[in-house]
Amino acid sequence: MLNEIYTKQKQQSDKSLEALKKDFTTIRTGKVNINILDHIHVDYYGSATPLNQVATVLATDASTISITPWEKSMLKAIESAIAAANIGVNPNNDGESVKLFFPPMTREQREENAKNAKAMGEKAKVAIRNIRKDANDAVKKLEKDKAISEDEAKKAYDEVQKQTDNYTAKVDELVKNKEVELLKV
């Protein structure tokens, strides 16, 4: 019974770490990353479709992203979706593809992105603490139902806390690495 609680806590905490890593891909670093466009959806025959499902998205160099639609008629829709997404650059339509030219990041932009990374890390920590609360509630219920003894419950609370501390440290490490990456010129 307790092992199920630990396993569930571990799986959910792993998902929180993966979500944090995915969130980090949307933050711009010195080199452009096509994942910055992941949240952009284009109106494709009346339905909102992710940009990468209607076009080929490539980082052609460290500061340029090229978006080539599979249908030429999508150029205007892609251009307006990117402009509406407000990612810090204006789309350039050359008749064949949409190009995004990212200027070098300023110190202020890097610091702002580092703050965003910290905020994402805090969000992940809150999720992990909520997972800890759920695990402790499950242990408390087992103890109340007399399925486990008071000593077993105390050991279980300690194990749940140990896992929480472990995952919190992993989040801190990810945030620290991301900050170093963001502030590196």
The tally of domains found in the chain comes to 2
Q: What is the CATH number of the domain that holds 73?
A: 3.30.1360.40
Q: What integer pLDDT is reported at residue 115 of this predicted model?
A: 94
Specify whether the CB–CB gap between 38 and 25 falls below 8 A: yes
Note whether 83 and 121 are same-domain residues. Answer: no
Give the model's pLDDT for residue 185.
67
Q: What is the pTM of this model?
A: 0.77
pLDDT digits (tens, 9 = 90+) for 91-139: 999 989 999 998 888 889 889 999 999 999 999 999 999 999 999 999 9
Can you read off the two tokens belonging to residue 47?
């339905």
Q: Are residues 111 and 178 in the same domain?
A: yes
Look at residues 101, 129, 153 and tell me which one is the last residue of a structural domain. Answer: 101
Contacts of 53 (CB under 8 A, 6+ apart): 44
> Which structural domain range is residue 126 located in?
1-28+106-183
Whether 21 and 82 share a structural domain: no
Together in a domain, 115 and 137: yes
The C-alpha atoms of residue 83 and residue 85 are separated, in whole angstroms, by 5
| Residues 61 and 130 reside in one and the same domain | no
Q: Are strands 91-93 and 64-69 parallel, antiparallel or unpaired?
A: unpaired
Same domain, 10 and 46: no
Q: Say which DSSP state 35 is in.
A: G
Q: Are residues 113 and 178 in the same domain?
A: yes
Residue 123 has a pLDDT of 96
What pLDDT score does 4 carry? Answer: 94
Looking at every residue in the chain, the average pLDDT score rounds to: 91
